[in-house]
């Protein structure tokens, strides 16, 4: 198990860096339920259970914690192999677990339980265990449910994340935060999965009707350089292409059979 290291100077830099990375890579970040998550953090330690469909999940989670939540210290459980490869995530609050080792899994769970003894601490867990495509039905492992069982005073908050192309050059990020699970459901992995699935459905409905109350927290204007380059390439292509050449002229003439040649003569 690899413990987290939250170093304040690095966290300040990381918040700016993450904002820049999101601006460069996505058209916008849309969030629903941020006030719900803030209220949970203000009341008690908070365990966030979320789906895992992209490498970006951890960065979005940490960015929300550093940029959008008051008084929160955000941590995230991450695959140890990935944390060794991307060591900066450890300084931003991630701790690593070797999922192939039951003993290491137990250590990571105890570590998360210790973190959740303090109000203001937020621990993100992705109970699917590995990245899975968005269309795959949610099936959670037992780790998050076990943590919730050991920390009954913690708020268990379901969150869905999605990365969607909507006609822009870059995809949009959607984050939907649900209400904390009731005490009788908080430590049930099936109830956790169903709650996250409801938030995934909210995102789907938002894409269909635009009526689900999402707020745009970060918007990236279209790159002027990219727009200029596209217009320049289009102008050059139009100048180089002879006006009389149409689609048929651009295609090779079909070969004629000997029978067709004989008929014409």
Q: What is the CATH number of the domain that holds 101?
A: 3.40.1130.10
Q: Are residues 174 and 229 in the same domain?
A: no
Domain-terminating residue out of 219, 235, 253: 219
Q: Which pLDDT does position 169 carry in this prediction?
A: 87
Tell me whether residue 208 is in a domain.
Answer: yes
Residues in the chain: 265
Q: Are residues 140 and 203 in the same domain?
A: yes
Tell me whether residue 140 is in a domain.
Answer: yes
Domain count, the chain: 2
Of 46, 43, 39, nearest to 147 by C-alpha is 46
d(CA 55, CA 59): 8
Q: Are residues 24 and 51 in the same domain?
A: yes
Q: Are residues 199 and 72 in the same domain?
A: yes
Name the DSSP class of 45.
Answer: -
Q: Which pLDDT does position 221 carry in this prediction?
A: 74
> Both tokens of residue 108?
């990571």
Q: Are residues 231 and 215 in the same domain?
A: no
d(CA 43, CA 41): 5
pTM for the full predicted model: 0.83
Contact of 46 with 37, CB cutoff 8 Å: yes
Q: Are residues 95 and 117 in the same domain?
A: yes
Strands 46-50 and 155-164: parallel
The DSSP secondary structure of 163-198, one letter per residue, reads EE--SSSSPEEEEEEPPPPPHHHHT-HHHHHHHHHH
- Kindly give the parts of the chain with pLDDT less than 50: 224-225, 244-245, 247, 249-251, 265
Q: Are residues 124 and 140 in the same domain?
A: yes
Tell me whether residue 80 is in a domain.
Answer: yes
Tell me whether residue 3 is in a domain.
Answer: no
Q: Are residues 160 and 233 in the same domain?
A: no
Tell me whether residue 107 is in a domain.
Answer: yes
Of 112, 106, 136, 91, nearest to 49 by C-alpha is 112
Tell me whether residue 1 is in a domain.
Answer: no
Q: Which pLDDT does position 255 carry in this prediction?
A: 62
Q: Are residues 105 and 17 in the same domain?
A: yes
Domain-terminating residue out of 203, 219, 235: 219
Q: Are residues 73 and 133 in the same domain?
A: yes
Tell me whether residue 2 is in a domain.
Answer: no
Write the pLDDT tens digit of every residue in 20-77.
Answer: 999 999 999 999 999 999 999 999 999 999 999 999 999 999 999 999 999 999 999 9
Of 153, 162, 245, nearest to 196 by C-alpha is 162
The residue written with tokens 């998050």 in the block is: 144
Q: Which pLDDT does position 212 carry in this prediction?
A: 78
Q: Are residues 206 and 179 in the same domain?
A: yes
Tell me whether residue 63 is in a domain.
Answer: yes
Domain that holds residue 193: 8-219
Q: Are residues 159 and 238 in the same domain?
A: no
């Amino acid at each position: 198990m690899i413990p987290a290291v939250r170093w304040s100077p690095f966290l300040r830099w990381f918040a700016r860096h993450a904002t820049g990375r999101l601006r460069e890579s996505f058209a916008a970040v849309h969030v629903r339920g941020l006030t719900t998550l803030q209220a949970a953090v203000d009341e008690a330690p908070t365990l966030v259970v979320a789906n895992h469909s992209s490498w970006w999940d951890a960065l979005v989670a940490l960015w929300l914690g550093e940029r959008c939540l008051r008084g929160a210290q955000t941590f995230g459980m991450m695959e140890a192999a990935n944390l060794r490869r991307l060591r900066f995530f450890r300084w931003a609050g991630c701790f690593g677990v070797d999922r192939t080792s039951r003993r290491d899994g137990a250590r990571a769970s105890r570590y998360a339980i210790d973190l959740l003894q303090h109000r203001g601490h937020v621990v993100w867990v992705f109970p699917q265990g590995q990245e899975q495509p968005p269309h795959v039905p949610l099936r959670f492992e037992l780790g998050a449910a076990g943590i919730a069982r050991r920390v009954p005073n913690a708020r268990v908050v379901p969150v869905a994340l999605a990365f969607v192309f909507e006609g822009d050059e870059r995809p949009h990020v959607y984050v939907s935060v649900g209400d904390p699970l009731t005490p009788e459901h908080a430590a049930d992995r099936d109830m956790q999965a169903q709650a996250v699935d409801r938030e995934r459905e909210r995102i789907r409905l938002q894409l269909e009707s635009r009526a689900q109350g999402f707020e745009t927290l970060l918007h990236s204007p279209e790159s002027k350089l990219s727009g200029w380059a596209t217009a320049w390439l289009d102008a050059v292509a139009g100048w180089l292409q002879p006006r009389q050449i149409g689609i048929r002229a651009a295609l090779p003439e079909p070969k004629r059979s000997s029978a067709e040649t004989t008929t014409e003569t």
